[in-house]
């Protein structure tokens, strides 16, 4: 794993200046009158101090690496766009560690000092993993080496409590949105939640946990907006928490969707 202990900060700060009463004193109150901060004001102050980490991810030749996972020490991760750009919002100020992962590349771990109410911009480079990309043949059928290493075919062959979409199935569906792939499946429900759609295990009252290339991105990750169908190699769906393989269990209890992207 690549590791950078402390990265130089290249921050773009937008500062707004305003006049405020002295700390602990209410406006128009007699001098010396102390005012205890309310829970709402404290929460607002914390929200206003949160920062953003933005940047791009490329290989050593400068080519963008799309759909890498960026995972902060605390909070949910995000997925880079196809052009390698990303934004991690609502980052707590102070020293924060991040882990960047993409199948086919060495993981990159780094720590950075996040100023309050700031946007920090970084350029990250991932190094490729030396892999044997010889064709893999299972039961007379040529399959993806990356999916074979990830255990996709083993789980499919073992008949685990899941639904498996391979590359051939995804091509036949000719989906416009990734959530279209789930329409008509008897074990899942696609429903609108605000401005986007979420996928639920039928009979469950919570959205399913989402993994991309084995990295947990949480039940709030928006597959429709952030993962176009043309970038998907295969999908595993586990509508029941009881059927989720151990390596994908996070005690959420709502089932899991594992998306594998194209890397070979």
Contacts of 37 (CB under 8 A, 6+ apart): 45
> What per-residue confidence (pLDDT) applies to 30?
52
> What per-residue confidence (pLDDT) applies to 125?
96
In terms of residues, how long is the chain? Answer: 264
Q: Which two tokens stand for residue 104?
A: 């086919």
* Closest by CA position to 206, among listed 259, 255, 257, 258: 255
Which superfamily, per CATH, for 2-14+22-125? Carboxypeptidase-like, regulatory domain (2.60.40.1120)
Contacts of 141 (CB under 8 A, 6+ apart): none
> What per-residue confidence (pLDDT) applies to 5?
54
> What per-residue confidence (pLDDT) applies to 251?
65
- Are 201 and 252 in contact by the 8 Å Cβ rule? The answer is no
Q: Which two tokens stand for residue 14?
A: 């937008």
Which superfamily, per CATH, for 136-261? TonB-dependent receptor, plug domain (2.170.130.10)
d(CA 71, CA 99): 5
Q: Quick one: 249 exposed, middle or buried, by C-beta within 10 A (0-12, 13-18, 19+)?
A: middle
* Closest by CA position to 233, among listed 131, 176, 187, 164: 164
User: How many CB atoms are located within 10 Å of the residue 194 CB?
Assistant: 7
Q: What is the pTM of this model?
A: 0.66
pLDDT digits (tens, 9 = 90+) for 5-18: 555 444 333 323 23
**Residue 18 DSSP one-character state:** -
The low-confidence residues of the chain, meaning pLDDT below 50, are 8-29
> Is the torsion defined by CA of 237, 243, 244, 245 positive or negative?
negative
Contacts of 111 (CB under 8 A, 6+ apart): 4, 5, 6, 7, 95, 96, 97, 98
d(CA 236, CA 257): 6
> What per-residue confidence (pLDDT) applies to 23?
39
Q: Which two tokens stand for residue 98?
A: 């991040």
> What per-residue confidence (pLDDT) applies to 29?
47
d(CA 216, CA 169): 24
* Closest by CA position to 256, among listed 196, 195, 187, 191: 187
> What per-residue confidence (pLDDT) applies to 43?
64
Q: Which two tokens stand for residue 142?
A: 């040529």
> What per-residue confidence (pLDDT) applies to 36?
58
The helix or strand, by DSSP H or E, that contains position 101, with its residue range, turns out to be strand 94-101
Q: Where in the chain is the domain with CATH 2.170.130.10?
A: 136-261
> What per-residue confidence (pLDDT) applies to 26?
42
Q: Where in the chain is the domain with CATH 2.60.40.1120?
A: 2-14+22-125
Q: What is the largest CA-CA distance in the chain?
A: 85
């Amino acid at each position: 794993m690549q590791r950078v202990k402390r990265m130089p900060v290249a921050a773009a700060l937008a500062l707004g200046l305003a006049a405020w009463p002295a700390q602990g004193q209410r406006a128009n109150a007699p001098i010396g009158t102390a005012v205890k901060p309310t829970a709402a004001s404290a929460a607002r102050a914390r929200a206003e101090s949160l920062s953003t980490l933005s940047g791009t991810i490329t290989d050593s030749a400068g080519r963008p690496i799309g759909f890498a996972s960026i995972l902060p020490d605390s909070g949910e991760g995000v997925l880079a766009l196809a052009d390698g750009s990303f934004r991690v919002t609502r980052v707590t100020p102070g020293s924060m560690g991040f882990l960047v992962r993409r199948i086919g590349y060495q993981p990159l771990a780094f720590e950075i000092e996040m100023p309050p109410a700031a946007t920090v911009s970084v350029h990250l480079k991932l190094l490729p993993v030396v892999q044997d990309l010889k064709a893999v043949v299972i039961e007379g059928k040529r399959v993806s080496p990356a999916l074979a290493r990830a255990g996709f075919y083993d789980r499919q062959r073992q008949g685990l409590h899941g639904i498996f979409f391979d590359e051939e199935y995804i091509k036949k569906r000719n989906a416009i949105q990734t959530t279209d792939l789930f329409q008509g499946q008897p074990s899942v429900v696609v429903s609108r939640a605000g401005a986007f759609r979420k996928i639920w295990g039928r009979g469950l009252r919570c959205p399913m946990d989402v993994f991309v290339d084995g990295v947990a991105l949480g039940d709030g990750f928006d597959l429709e907006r952030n993962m176009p169908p043309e970038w998907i190699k295969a999908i595993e769906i586990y509508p029941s928490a009881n059927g989720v393989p151990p390596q994908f269990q996070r005690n959420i209890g709502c089932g899991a969707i594992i998306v594998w992207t194209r890397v070979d």
